[in-house]
Structure 1
Amino acid sequence: MRQLSDFPITERWPATQPDAIQLYSFATPNGVKVSIALEELGLPYEAHLVRIGKDDQKTDAFLSLNPNGKIPAIIDPNGPGGEPIGLFESGAILQYLAEKTGKLLPQDPARRIETLQWVYFQMGGVGPMFGQFGHFYKFAADKVKDPYPVERYGNEARRLLSVLETRLQSRTFMMDDDYTIADIALFPWVRTLDLFYEAKDHLKLAEFPAVMAWLDRCMSRPASQTGFKIPAAD
Structure 2
Amino acid sequence: MTDLSDFPVAKRWPAEHPDRLQLYSAPTPNGVKVSIVLEELGLPYEAHYVDIGKDETWTPEFLSLNPNGKIPSVIDPDGQGGKPLALFESGAILLYLAEKTGKFLPADPALRYETIQWVFFQMAAIGPIFGQLGFFHKFAGREIADKRPLERYRVESRRLVGVLDGRLKERTWIMGDDYTIADISMLGWVRNLIGFYDARELVGFDDFPAVAAWLERGLARPAVQRGIVIPTRP
Question: Fold conserved (TM > 0.5)?
Answer: yes
Contact 2:33 2:185 in 1 (8 A): yes
Matched, 1:109 2:112: no
Matched, 1:35 2:39: no
In structure 2, distance between residues paired with 1:168 and 1:142: 32
In structure 1, distance between residues paired with 2:227 and 2:21: 15
In structure 2, distance between residues paired with 1:24 and 1:8: 13
Q: What does residue 138 of structure 1 align with? A: 138
Q: What does residue 92 of structure 1 align with? A: 92
Q: What does residue 157 of structure 1 align with? A: 157
Q: What does residue 118 of structure 1 align with? A: 118
Deviation, structure 1 residue 81: 0.5
Deviation, structure 1 residue 134: 0.6
In structure 2, distance between residues paired with 1:158 and 1:133: 10
Q: What does residue 209 of structure 1 align with? A: 209
Give RMSD over aligned pairs. Answer: 0.9
Contact 2:136 2:142 in 1 (8 A): no
> Which consecutive segments of 4 or more residues in structure 1 shift more than 2 A?
140-143
Deviation, structure 1 residue 219: 0.7
In structure 1, distance between residues paired with 2:170 and 2:210: 8
Structure 1 gap segments, 5+ residues each? none
Contact 2:20 2:46 in 1 (8 A): yes
Residue 39 of structure 1 aligns with an amino acid whose one-letter code is E
Q: What does residue 53 of structure 1 align with? A: 53
SS at match of 1:24: strand
Q: What does residue 6 of structure 1 align with? A: 6
SS at match of 2:30: helix
In structure 2, distance between residues paired with 1:155 and 1:50: 33
Q: How many residues align?
A: 233
Deviation, structure 1 residue 141: 4.5
Deviation, structure 1 residue 187: 1.4
In structure 2, distance between residues paired with 1:79 and 1:23: 14
Could you tell me the percent identity over the aligned residues? Answer: 62
In structure 2, distance between residues paired with 1:142 and 1:124: 24
TM-score of the pair, normalised by structure 1: 0.98
Structure 2 gap segments, 5+ residues each? none
Which digits, 9 at most, give the CA deviation of each residue in 1:112-146, with x for residues without a partner? 00000000000001000000111011002542111
TM-score of the pair, normalised by structure 2: 0.98
Q: Which stretch has the larger CA shift, 3-12 or 33-42? A: 3-12
